[in-house]
Amino acid sequence: MAKRRISDFEGFQKVLNNAKSIIVLTGAGISSESGIPTFRGEGGWWKTYRSADLATPQAFQSNPALVWEFYNYRRHVALNTHPNNAHKALSEYEKKCKSEGHHLAIITQNVDGLHKRAGSENIIELHGNLFKTICTNRKCIFIDENYDDPICKAFKLMSFRDPNVKDDSLPVVMKEDLPKCKKCNSLVRPYIVWFGENLDHEVLRKSRELVESCDLCLVVGTSSVVYPAAMFAPLVAQRGMPVAEFNITEEPADNSFAFHFPGKCGTTLQKALG
Ligand code: BJW
Ligand code: ZN
């Protein structure tokens, strides 16, 4: 196995300049400098709350109001942030690639919409989108998109309650007041892939195609523990193609990656693509 190159910006740029098809796999860390909490790091969602209470179909089944409260709050947080230097560097580099007849695609686990707001065009959203809903009526399954904050009147002036703490002072939103489908008036749910749910078939097919054909992969701000996304970069490395990881951690997620750039990706990614 070739020696891993740490913070070798010059070496990386030689590889980058020769790459014709680049994939960039992003995770919550790329949005942390915009002020959006990650999941597993310091102050991460899953450090305070149990993912089983908020991000599973079972949680929605047993307490749709709590789950909606969480996603309503997440929408509010995302709407009040802006793309940072890392999002912008990727969007700029996609334009450069386009002008040179090369290809760059972002495969993101994020649901915050910040890549699109930064101007990126080629984006695959693996885990859905905070600003989309899907109807729970199996005969309807209408997918809608909206940026309303709050998502419905019932959440007006409500913050997100800690599900670990019993707090009777906060009003509970009634099921009939939760967001409804425009077409059939049934309850809608966030268009998010929760634990134990399959990713959209077409989204997964397109991602696999890119993973199997790219000649360079960048992995940015992800703990690489959630499947199937976690296997994409190792699959690229197994084909003998270079993988460059950008993460604040000193340790790489996988020893087979060619490059590792420790530090905040708002800085390292901009320098690497600049
Ligand atoms: C910085 C930084 C800075 C910070 N600069 N870096 C195979 C093996 C084992 C388990 C499974 C398997 N296949 C499937 C599973 C089960 C499960 C899974 O993977 N579990 C693992 C946890 C073990 N996977 C699933 O259930 C998936 N479904 C599936 O595979 O269907 C088939 C199936 C059906 C039935 C049963 C079993 C399988 C679906 C996964 C859906 C994930 N959903 C979530 C929540 C919804 C989205 C939302 O609400 O926002 O998606 S979980 C959460 O984790 C979210 C994220 O997209 C995802 C990944 O997290 P991410 O982005 O990596 O964030 P963090 O916080 O973990 O890491 C941040 C990183 O950034 C850190 O490394 C920091 O160091 C770094 N960082 N600041 C650079 N400034
Ligand atoms: Zn409907």
pLDDT digit string, tens, across residues 57-108? 999 999 999 899 999 989 999 999 999 999 999 999 999 999 999 999 999 9
- In ligand 1, the atom with minimum distance to the C-alpha of 128 is 47
Instruction: Band the pLDDT of 155: cuts 50, 70, 90.
Output: confident
Pocket test for ligand 1, best of 26, 227, 254, 270 (most atoms within 8 A of CB): 227
- Output 48 or 257, whichever has higher pLDDT: 257
Instruction: Indicate if 127 belongs to the active site.
Output: yes
Q: What is the dihedral of CA 254, 11, 98, 238, to 10 degrees?
A: -30
Question: How far apart, in whole angstroms, are the C-alpha atoms of residue 248 and residue 236?
Answer: 22
| Residue 139, pLDDT above cutoff 90 | yes
Q: Whose CA is nearest to atom 78 of ligand 1?
A: 29
The two three-digit tokens of residue 267, written as one number: 């800085």
- Rounded to two decimals, the pTM is 0.95
Dihedral-angle region of residue 148 (phi above 0 means left; psi in -120 to 50 means alpha; beta otherwise): beta
Given the residues 103, 115, 127, 260, select the one marked as catalytic. Answer: 127
Pairing, β 21-26 against β 103-108: parallel
pLDDT value at residue 173: 85
Residue in 190, 263, 260, 250 with CA at minimum distance from that of residue 32: 263
Q: Whose CA is nearest to atom 66 of ligand 1?
A: 39
Burial of 153: CB neighbours in 10 Å, binned 0-12, 13-18, 19+? exposed
- Output 173 or 180, whichever has higher pLDDT: 180
Question: How far apart, in whole angstroms, are the C-alpha atoms of residue 183 and residue 81?
Answer: 31
Burial of 242: CB neighbours in 10 Å, binned 0-12, 13-18, 19+? buried
Query: Is this complex's ipTM strictly greater than 0.90?
Result: yes
Residue in 96, 82, 107 with CA at minimum distance from that of residue 219: 107
pLDDT value at residue 80: 93
Q: Average pLDDT of 233-247?
A: 98
pLDDT value at residue 228: 97
Phi, psi dihedral angles at 169 (to 5 degrees): -75, -20
The two three-digit tokens of residue 42, written as one number: 């310091």
pLDDT value at residue 157: 60
pLDDT value at residue 187: 98
Residue in 11, 75, 32 with CA at minimum distance from that of residue 222: 32
Residue type, 233: A
Ligand 1 midpoint to CA 141 (Å): 25
Q: Average pLDDT of 199-208?
A: 98
